[in-house]
Every structure is written in structure tokens, then in C-alpha cells.
Amino acid sequence: MDEKLAKLMEYLQMETEIPFEEFKSYYSGVIELLNKEYNEMDQSTLLKAKYICSIVQANAESRSHRSKINGKHFKKMASKCGFWSDAIDFRLKKEGLSQDEIDAAMSQFNKQSEE
């Protein structure tokens, strides 16, 4: 997940949007990683995954409204990222983290992305 987070931070620094195929490839890699390794992820990795899913979800939702050609694809991506974000939230809370702690971690990632 570290590699995916590093790539996301790189994307967030860009002035232009990445092309659909690159977005789709990144999204697919994240989902594949979650499908394979979710059960073995520790809290730190889960927090990274939640941040990635929330950013990809927001971007996919935004793009779904602007893209006539790929709108349905973006909506599907946003939905799946929302599912994973909720699942990660549920698990983190089950493991003892409060919503405030989760939110604080997300804020920290946002600060890192702005640097």
C-alpha cells in the first residue's frame, strides 16, 4: 500500500488530470491489493488504504459528472471505493480506533499531500 500511496501523492501534486486508462489502471491495482491482502493488513496499512479509497472515490465521482464516454465506469469505481472505505472504517472501529482517530489520520495524509 506504501507504493500506491506514494503514487497517489505524486498524482495529487499534478496540475492536470491523468488519462482515463491510467486512472483505471491505478484504481484496479488498489482494488486488487485490497482483495488479496485486506485480511492481513495492519491498522497503519488500513488507514493508508482508506485515504487512497477516499481520494479515488472523490475523483471518480467528480469525473463521472464530466465524462459522457466514461461516466458509468467512473460511477462504478466511486461506488467500489466507497464500499472499501466503509469496510475499512468498520474494521478500524472494531479494532478499537475512534472516528476522531481515523479522521486525524486522514487529515495527516492531506497535510502530506499538500507539502
- Calculate the average pLDDT of the chain: 96
Query: 54 falls in which pLDDT band (50, 70, 90)?
Result: very high
Q: Grid coordinates in use for 63? A: 469525473
Q: Which of 69, 67, 75 is CA-nearest to residue 27?
A: 75
Please tell me the distance from the alpha carbon of residue 50 to that of residue 105, in angstroms, as a whole number.
10
Please tell me the distance from the alpha carbon of residue 72 to that of residue 81, in angstroms, as a whole number.
14
Write out the H or E segment, with its range, that includes residue 40: none
pLDDT (tens digit per residue) in 56-84: 999 999 999 999 999 999 999 999 999 99
pTM: 0.95
Query: Residue 113 has what pLDDT?
Result: 84
pLDDT (tens digit per residue) in 19-53: 999 999 999 999 999 999 999 999 999 999 999 99
